[in-house]
Amino acid sequence: MCGIAGIVGNRVTEIDVRLARMSRAILHRGPDDEGQSIWPSNGRVPQTAFAHRRLSIIDLSEAGHQPMSTSDGRFTITYNGEIYNYRVLRRELQTQGVRFTSQSDTEVLLQLYALHGAACLKLLRGMFAFAIRNNETGDIFIARDHLGIKPLYYYHTEDLFIFASELRALLESELVPRRLSQSGLTAYLQTGSVTGPGTMVAGVRSLQPGHYARIRGAGGELKVTSGERCSARALPVGRHRFERHCGVDESGNR
């Protein structure tokens, strides 16, 4: 078990302090190592910060430290989970000329995304929740495993996107209003649980099993596009448009 967290938004002040609080909130998920990466806004892409708490399972060396970047610096990942078929995928990537610097499944996932984009999800067998930043465009890609074994929660407005492995990390950022969800409370009192994507916190949602989302920022506003490979419909939500695609690649093509 590891823990991940991140913040995207130009209007966030003291982003390093907020990220540190989020990371401490999920310390129990990964006591072996911690890491943070922060990218300031350059006027073209939004300010972004990733945090990771590591429980070392595969490749116990420092080579498995996260957030992890590709050798060319184009992509950076923060990842929680285990890819069961990572050795097979690693060998296939090596036949395509990919060179690895660690023995971790994290690096395999990162290199798969660098080559295939969202289509890499079809190749994965395992449990996972992760976020990858395209450091050239500032775009963020998040995804959750097909059975929803690994948790991933998020909150967003037109100029903020924040995610984490647990609700408590979102609240510790002090960017998420501490308001109880009436529908979440009703569901809990009726059934003893809250069905996703709803949660007990108003405005916070869980990324559904087998789903992914892209976060793109331009002119201070963020556009969140989510989808899954097995459906094709569009749902307008407020000022955002959540689109579901059927088998898309990194560019969004079918």
Please write down the HEC assignment for all residues of 149-210.
Answer: CCCCEEEEECCEEEEECCHHHHHHCCCCCCCECHHHHHHHHHHCCCCCCCCCECCCEECCCC
What is the pTM (predicted TM-score) of this model? 0.86
Question: What pLDDT score does 232 carry?
Answer: 30
Q: Which two tokens stand for residue 92?
A: 């296939």
Question: What pLDDT score does 100 carry?
Answer: 94
Active-site residue, selected from the candidate residues 2, 120, 230, 246: 2
* DSSP class of 88: H
Quick count: other Cβ atoms within 10 Å of Cβ 188?
A: 15
Q: Which residues of the chain have pLDDT under 50?
A: 230-254
Question: What pLDDT score does 220 carry?
Answer: 56
Question: What pLDDT score does 191 carry?
Answer: 93
19 contacts 49 by C-beta, under 8 angstroms: yes
> What domains appear along the chain, each with residue ranges and CATH number?
3-214 (3.60.20.10)
The answer to whether residue 2 is catalytic is yes
Question: What pLDDT score does 114 carry?
Answer: 96
Question: What pLDDT score does 218 carry?
Answer: 60
- Cα separation of 98 and 171, whole Å? 39
Helix (H) or strand (E) holding 90: helix 86-95
Sign of the torsion angle spanned by Cα atoms 54, 103, 141, 212? negative
Count helices and strands (H / E) in the chain: 5, 14
Question: What pLDDT score does 219 carry?
Answer: 53
- Cα separation of 226 and 209, whole Å? 12
35 contacts 54 by C-beta, under 8 angstroms: yes
